[in-house]
Structure 1
Amino acid sequence: MRHSSLLYVGLFSLAAAQPAFAAEQTQASELENTTSPAKNGFITKSEAVVKKLTVNANAAQADEEKDPFESVNRKVYAFNDALDRNIARPIAVQYVEKVPDEVRGSYRHFRKNLREPWNAVNQLIQGRPLRAAKSLGRFTINTVTTLGFADPARRLNLTTEEDGLGTTLGYYGLPTGPYLMLPFLGPSTIREGVGMIADGYAQPQRYLLDDHEGVYWSEQALRAVDSRSQVLEVEKVLQGDKYAQLRDIYLQRLSFEIAEKKGTADDGMFINDDTEDDDLLEDSDQNDAESNSDGSITDNSETPVTE
């Protein structure tokens, strides 16, 4: 595919300036601007996790070991942050305000579904055939029933687990390498950079839209805006040295992903990515439906969210 659409490349890149939170906070941003106890409780939980990570993430490793290029990385971060504040974030805000939750949710389901075959490939390489079979089962069920725009497979306990080449290399013990702050693309490492290239070539839309370059890059731009929109609700918890906090959360996330697959992860370290907003909406509906015989609504606002 020819890569001449620089405008699309720019839009795609700009919104990736803070991707470290995206996986943890998808549901939180989906539920913004609501007063539902279940929704607000989930956002509070998300923020608490991020605050914990900003204090504890990678605390045992010295900065000079994990970030030997810190002086250069900080300059790149400042560049990315300026672009984000002036371009990417305003676009993401408008996207959330103008595009209904249901549409955004369906789009994310569709993109995740397209990734399932690549998840399965990596899971096979990791020596986890049962997990790979589950990913292929998810892809088949969701594609046949909803073309991937919903996730009925999850109701059958076929949960998703995203995998990429970087994670697979880490699974077999390859170190992350030095932390890198890439222009436009944001946080990465040597290992994840290699994985990102391979993951890019594994995207089916790259080949399905090979003769439709404008459509391909438009979709990539939409993906970038959608990804940026997912961290709007939680980004405010970053205080002080945002560069260091973002770096440590990103590196901690990489460590958690490997530990999770090996069964050694602390379940409270990160919010489960498979927690869907559908469940939260169901909880909200149940709360709203709890009323007294006189028609008053039961107040559940103080009910804590179960960890």
Structure 2
Amino acid sequence: MIYPSIKLLLIASISSVSYLAYAEDVGPVVNEDSSALDDQDDIYSLAALKKIQLNQLKINALASQPVSVKDPLQPLNRKIFTFNDTLDQYVLRPVAVQYQAKVPEDARSSYTNFRTNLREPWNAVNQILQGKPKTAAKSLSRFTINTLTSLGFADTAKRLKMDNEKDDLGITLGVWGVSSGPYIMLPFLGPSTFRDGAATIADRYANVQQYVFDDDRSYWANNAIDAINTRAQLLSVESMLHGDKYSAIRDTYLQQRAYVIATKRGEDIESTMFADDPFEDTTDEQDDLPDDAQQTGE
């Protein structure tokens, strides 16, 4: 069942690369290496944001708005955050600690490469929708090279100076000018916005793994391992969160998404406002919270 899926993907990738390799981007002219992220960093993660120099971090209108405007659902969001954080502290984090301690680094890296490779076709689709066929051709070339040489468990394409550029439908909608809408904290999934949350549904069903792992048990087992693997990668950055962890994670997420979208739109980031250190104490004003939250600190 898996092998026909791989064959179809390879045929589609090779055909697309042969056509797109000669196309020119029609979107804004920006640096192909549009972020300072390593190819194994997720654009949503604290680890990825840490690698962006402070003077590269753009605050858009949403990120710089008062809390009551950018986070009008804060009382509900904080309750969901408390649920997620409790689940993390008592279930996910302990498993991630053991996973990091017991599973060799090479095996963890290979699994990360495998998951990253499965996302490349959807990266390419979004890059085409953004008007960047050359970037899409690179993503499809990465998928073809890595799949043929190692089934995606090694990032051979990176050695050929072809770095990964992650994209999703939320980023594409942002490039098109769709507003992010209010910030929301999703149960189990974490920080998002109305725009990105809706786009996540399409991202899920467009992901290649949906068709490679075509039975429920293997699909959900793979998702569980991915969650543990991702959580293990964040263990080293936990100490950077000070004060109100909810606010720090919210502002980090909004600023990171704003930066990625701004660079893809070709905006002059240096002419815009810049963020304060996102890892300093980012506690919201207590007046923004209801009375019961002020007393409990939630």
TM-score normalised by the chain length of structure 2: 0.71
Matches of residues 231-242 of structure 1 in structure 2 within 5 Å? 231-242=234-245
Give the Cα separation in 1 of the matches to 2:144 and 2:63: 42
Counterpart residue number, 2:177: 173
Matches of residues 222-237 of structure 1 in structure 2 within 5 Å? 222-237=225-240
Counterpart residue number, 2:192: 188
TM-score normalised by the chain length of structure 1: 0.69
Give the Cα separation in 1 of the matches to 2:183 and 2:75: 12
**Identity over aligned residues, as a percent?**
52
Deviation at 1:49, TM superposition (A): 6.1
Give the Cα separation in 2 of the matches to 1:189 and 1:58: 11
CA deviation vs aligned residue, 1:256-300 (integer Å, no higher than 9, x gap): 11012123375998xxxxxxxxxxxxxxxxxxxxxxxxxxxxxxx
Q: Which protein has greater RCO, CA pairs closer than 8 Å, 6+ apart? A: 1
Measured at CA, do residues 241 and 49 of structure 1 come closer, stay the same or move farther in structure 2, by a change above 3 Å? farther
Deviation at 1:172, TM superposition (A): 0.6
Residue 226 of structure 1 aligns with an amino acid whose one-letter code is N
Counterpart residue number, 1:262: 265
1:24 and 2:28 aligned: no
- Three-state SS of the structure 2 residue aligned to 1:233 is helix
Deviation at 1:21, TM superposition (A): 2.2
Query: Which residue among 216, 219, 222 is the counterpart of 2:219?
Result: 216
Matches of residues 2-41 of structure 1 in structure 2 within 5 Å? 20-21=44-45, 24=48
Counterpart residue number, 1:164: 168
Query: Which residue among 60, 68, 77 is the counterpart of 1:64?
Result: 68
Counterpart residue number, 2:111: 107
Give the Cα separation in 1 of the matches to 2:47 and 2:188: 18
When the two chains are superposed, the root-mean-square deviation of aligned CA atoms in Å is 2.7
Deviation at 1:133, TM superposition (A): 0.6
CA deviation vs aligned residue, 1:183-204 (integer Å, no higher than 9, x gap): 1111111110111111100122
Deviation at 1:149, TM superposition (A): 0.8
Counterpart residue number, 1:248: 251
Which structure 2 segments of 5+ residues have no match?
A: 1-41, 276-298
Deviation at 1:86, TM superposition (A): 0.7
Give the Cα separation in 1 of the matches to 2:130 and 2:63: 28
Residue 189 of structure 1 aligns with an amino acid whose one-letter code is T
Deviation at 1:205, TM superposition (A): 2.1
Give the Cα separation in 1 of the matches to 2:61 and 2:226: 28
Native 8 Å contact 2:96 2:232 kept in 1: yes
